[in-house]
Amino acid sequence: MASFGKIFSVKYAKIYYVTVNHLSKGMEIMRRPNERKPLVTHMYTADPSAHVFDGKIYIYPSHDIELDVPDDDDGAQYMMEDYHVLSMDNLDSPCVDNGVAIYYKDIPWVSQQMWAPDAIHVNGKYYLIFPAKDKELKFRLGVAESDSPVGPFKPHENFIEGSYSIDPAVLVDDDGRIYCYNGGLWGGQLEMWQSGSFNPDEPRPEGDVPALGPLFAEFKQDMTGFIAAPKHIQILDENGDPIKACDEDRRYFEDPWVHKFNGKYYFSYSTGTTHYLCYAESDKPDGPYTYKGRVMEPVLGWTTHHSILEIDGEWYIFYHDCELSKGITHERCVKYTKLNIAEDGTIETIHPYDD
């Protein structure tokens, strides 16, 4: 499939995949050797943010730890303590664990729970942007920097002023502006800031009220903070109305990612309780975004989390499931697979266990 894929340009992707789907009725689909398999098996990894830096693939995942605690809605089972950067020379080469890139006890403001990170390469440096709980147990976003994509990363002294909640995804736009998308419901604490300050008892939006959108903020060019306080992004339905809180098949839960395709912005995310990866489209980085469809059907495990990127002219999604631990929801493993995007930006829904 990979070698066929290279022959066809994105323009012909739709025809090509219709053909492959047709052929697959009688033939096995050819996948790359590493595709849809755990990329590393010596440790549990999750929440992969993948990037190509200087022609090499780098994956910034969470590092899940084995913990014998019951699952709960606040995510106490996700007690991660460090980050390891993974790297691959190309999609078919072994995935290398580059060791500990940063440890939570070395970050002055952090108390616990190093959740889903992202990374960018600007100003000649590599910046790791990550969420963790501060000393008051509020999730915040932090920045750490390095001269190397695999670290070690030196943390900034304090968390980003005005930041809250989890799951940063950072887009360096074509004009060099740097945008941060983040937020997560429930254990990710997004609802707890609705009044403008932290209130753990804040009621969750329910029923026909607009769902709580993800957060958007622009970074200063030197990565020392945000230019202005984060604001919520709107995700609209096909009629231009905000997606409702009760629409759990489509409302934002966590895991934002933005990729650009033919000049448009595509915001993809997890619906959490219904376990889908969905996407929405906009002409502007801060939306409003219009709901378009599903990127991926549910994987094994409660959480689903992803990143989307172009590698050598083809599109790929990096994601996780719980195959390696046979279903333990906080012991996950990162994988990748091909993503088919039509010329008009439509994403073909992935069925992660179809052969």
Contacts with ligand FUB, residue ranges (CB under 6 A): 46-47, 62, 78, 115-116, 166-167, 184, 254-255, 303, 305
Distance in Å, CB of 50 to ligand FUB, minimum: 15
- Residue 196 burial by Cβ neighbours in a 10 Å radius (0-12, 13-18, 19+): exposed
Residue 47 appears among annotated catalytic residues: yes
| Catalytic one of 134, 167, 191, 254 | 254
Q: Which amino acid is at 149?
A: P
Q: How far is CA 72 from CA 43, 59, 268, 329, in A?
A: 22, 27, 25, 11
Minimum distance between the CB of residue 82 and ligand FUB, rounded to whole angstroms?
13
Compute the distance between CA of residue 132 and CA of residue 80 in angstroms, rounded to an integer.
Answer: 9
Cβ closest to ligand FUB, residue 254 vs residue 314 = 254
Query: Three-state SS for 6?
Result: helix
DSSP 39-82: S--SSEEEEEEEEEETTEEEEEEEEE--------TT-TT----E
Between 116 and 150, whose beta carbon lies closer to ligand FUB? Answer: 116
Residue from 35, 47, 281, 323 carrying the catalytic annotation = 47
Compute the least distance from the CB of residue 178 to ligand FUB, in Å: 21
Q: What one-letter code names the amino acid at 134?
A: D
Taking the complex as a whole, the smallest distance from the CB of residue 299 to ligand FUB amounts, in Å, to: 11
DSSP 139: E
Q: Which amino acid makes up residue 271?
A: T
Q: Minimum distance from CB of 181 to ligand FUB (Å)?
A: 12
Buried b (16+ CB within 10 A) or exposed e, 62-75: bbbeeeeeeeeeeb
Select 149 or 184, whichever has its Cβ closest to ligand FUB: 184
Please identify, using beta-carbon distances, which residue of 115 and 336 lies nearer to ligand FUB.
Answer: 115
| Closest CB 183 distance from ligand FUB, rounded Å | 10
CB 98 within 8 A of CB 147: no
DSSP 29: P
Nearer to ligand FUB, 103 or 186 (CB): 186
Structure-token match 């969905």, residue found: 278
Kind plus residue range of the DSSP H or E element containing 46: strand 44-53
One-letter amino acid at 228 equals A
**Least Å from the CB of residue 166 to ligand FUB:** 5
Amino acid at 224: T
Other CB atoms within a 10 A radius of the CB of residue 345 amount to: 17
- Residue 10 or 114: the one with the smaller Cβ distance to ligand FUB is 114
Q: Which is nearer to ligand FUB, 13 or 217 (CB)?
A: 217
* Residue 114 DSSP symbol: -
Q: 130, 144 in Cβ contact below 8 A?
A: yes
Residue 127, H or E segment: strand 125-134
- Catalytic positions: 47, 254
